[in-house]
Amino acid sequence: MSGNLRLRIGITLFVTFIGLLYVLPSFTAVRDSSLGRFLPDAKVNLGLDLQGGMHLTLGVDIDKAIENNMSQAGRDLRDIARDEGVFILRPTVTQDNTLQFVLPKADARETLEKILAEDFEHFQVESRSTLDDGQIRYALSMTPAYKKYLADLTLDQAVKTIRNRIDQFGVAEPDIRKQREDYRIQVQLPGLAEQERAIEILGRTAHLEFKMVNEEADIEKARQGILPPGSELSTMLNRNPDGSYTETPIVLERDAVLTGEYITNASTSFDSYNQPYVMITFNSRGARLFERLTSEHVKERMAIVLDGKVYSAPVIQERISGGRASITGSFTMEEAHDLAIVLRAGALPAPVNILQERSVGPSLGQESIDQGINAALIGGVIVIIFMVVYYGFAGVVADTVLALNIFLVMAGLAGFGATLTLPGIAGIILTLGMAVDANVLIYERIREELRNGLTPRAAVDMGYSRATLTILDANVTTIIAAIILYQFGTGPIRGFAVTLTLGILASMFTAIFVSRIFFDLWVAKRPAKAGLSI
């Protein structure tokens, strides 16, 4: 045996060994055994159409994100202007998303507009009108370019937050895709059983605010719409023993004194009555703000508001340092756990709406798997018998490398973390056909050289030499097409492109490189004039 042949056998064994490492974890029995601890954490993941699950289309409320950004800009402008000795009144966002405020002293106009030009370059002055008392009313709007940037950023942040929540919820291999043209997000959750709970977690905005309670406000007047300046009527949730909630009105200061943007961690815990609650931890800046707020409002009530609902409004007994706070609200353990998930994953930058919800039952997925397996078995048996009958020994070689081809494709899917779907199975079957075709092309070339009178060794050399370039040309063009499909396609199309590419690469390796080893071994162990079964 020549050194070159030993090298090729060594490469083949090495590739097969690596493939084995990635294929074995796909078998539950192996993964759960003691051997599983030494194998890579990889397996062939089944898509939504094969194992069932949930498909959601979420719409991101971009208008609300713009409104929130405008509102934050109003607060920032007020703080920056105050630092410069300029006071502005009532920065509010109107329904057409313009930021309006009043400058009481006209002589501060130059300073204010310098601030607008330097710190708020993404805003433009829509109107500037002088009131009867000399005050100046401003109306600002976003530039179109910044509005587009903000919309794209909101979509990206929403995708990131949803991915974090799904990861912490424990769903394996979710498929999350954004549609930037209409600001939608498609979410596929294979194998998910708790669908209602998943919708609750994904759809929750988790906008956390801390607001002071206005104890002097009259609730009855507030219900009639008569509120003290700077206050708002909200709803406080009280959990009943039967699990339902009772809502009671409560008047809060409109401006939040602290928001959830400073949260670094959230977890569940139990109080002395074994009641679950959510413990939150602030970053250093949030901790300083929280400590200052609690020191300034001792014996006052601070409401904890999540998505517009007040979960608790405890009385501040003393200054709280250390950057920790708790959210109590008569939660169940599951509710507290889910709330901790959404707080830990971060708040959505804007509300998301469930536009489409579709469930795929596991029975349908199992039926698809069974039909796919049956089709592959029937087709495979027919091909194996045909190759052996028509090509003899060469047919056995073709069947062997075909099996190795399937093995390497599955290893590639596991190694790259790809998800196997029905279109993916179609891609595998197509590449198997192409692999058989490559063997047939080589064998027919060898037969042709044998008919021309060459010895088996020379015929094998010439057959592989002449067929290899043709196979490479055909497969390279197919790979280019697969790359284009992957680049511009979506879910199922991409799955087809991935399996097609893996199958072609495996096909070229097995048909050209591995099968040649068998022929070289056959020729090396037989006399030069012995025939070749092909």
Residues 260 and 368 in one domain: no
Q: Do residue 117 and residue 266 come from a single domain?
A: no
Question: Is residue 445 domain-resident?
Answer: yes
Specify if 393 maps to a domain. yes
Domain boundary among 325, 359, 393: 359
Domain boundary among 145, 173, 193: 145
Q: Given its phi and psi angles, is residue 319 left (phi above 0), alpha (psi -120 to 50 degrees) or beta?
A: beta
Phi first, then psi: give them for residue 198, nearest 5 degrees: -65, -40
**pLDDT for residue 157 is more than 80:** yes
Which domain, by its residues, includes 108?
Answer: 67-145
- Report if pTM > 0.85: no
Q: What is the pLDDT of residue 159?
A: 86
Q: Which residues pair with 303 in a beta bridge?
A: 211
- Contact (CB, 8 A) for 410 and 26: yes
Identity of the residue numbered 386: F
- For residue 71, is it within any domain? yes
Query: Are residues 336 and 209 both part of a single domain?
Result: yes
Confidence of residue 297 (pLDDT cuts 50, 70, 90): confident
pLDDT at res. 265: 80
Does residue 232 carry a pLDDT above 80? yes
The answer to whether the CB of 273 falls within 8 A of the CB of 291 is no
Q: Is residue 151 a part of any domain in this protein?
A: no
Same-domain check for residues 246 and 368: no
Are 331 and 226 contained in the same domain? yes
CATH number (domain holding residue 316): 3.30.1360.200
Is the pLDDT at 14 greater than 90? The verdict is: yes
- Given 359, 392, 408, the domain boundary residue is 359
Tell me which of 189-193, 244-248, 392-396 is least confident.
Answer: 189-193
Are both 224 and 328 inside the same structural domain?
yes
Is residue 152 a part of any domain in this protein? no
Same domain, 314 and 389: no
Same domain? For 278 and 302 the reply is yes
Q: Is residue 267 part of a domain?
A: yes
Instruction: Please check whether residues 317 and 385 belong to one and the same domain.
Output: no
Q: Tell whether 503 and 392 lie within a shared domain.
A: yes
Band (11; pLDDT cuts 50, 70, 90): very high
HSE at residue 500, side-chain half, CA atoms within 13 A, is: 23
pLDDT for the residue 490 = 66
DSSP letters for 403-468: HHHHHHHHHHHHHTT-EE-HHHHHHHHHHHHHHHHHHHHHHHHHHHHHHTT--HHHHHHHHHHHHH
- pLDDT band of 365, cuts 50, 70, 90: low
User: What's the CATH number where 425 sits?
Assistant: 1.20.1640.10
CATH number of the CATH domain containing 101: 3.30.70
Q: Residue 369's pLDDT is what? A: 67
Task: Tell whether 248 and 375 lie within a shared domain.
Answer: no
Residue 294 lies in a domain: yes
- State yes or no: pLDDT of 234 exceeds 60: yes
pLDDT category of residue 1 using cuts at 50, 70 and 90: low
d(CA 185, CA 59): 6
The answer to the question of residue 278 being in a domain is: yes
Of 209-213, 237-241, 447-451, the one with minimum mean pLDDT is 237-241
Number of domains in the chain: 3
Q: Quick one: 46 and 72 in the same domain?
A: no
Percent helix / strand / coil, the chain, rounded to 5? 55, 20, 25
The model's pLDDT over 237-260, given as tens digits with 9 standing for 90+, comes to: 877 767 677 888 899 987 778 777
Nearest to 414 by CA among 14, 23, 120, 16: 23
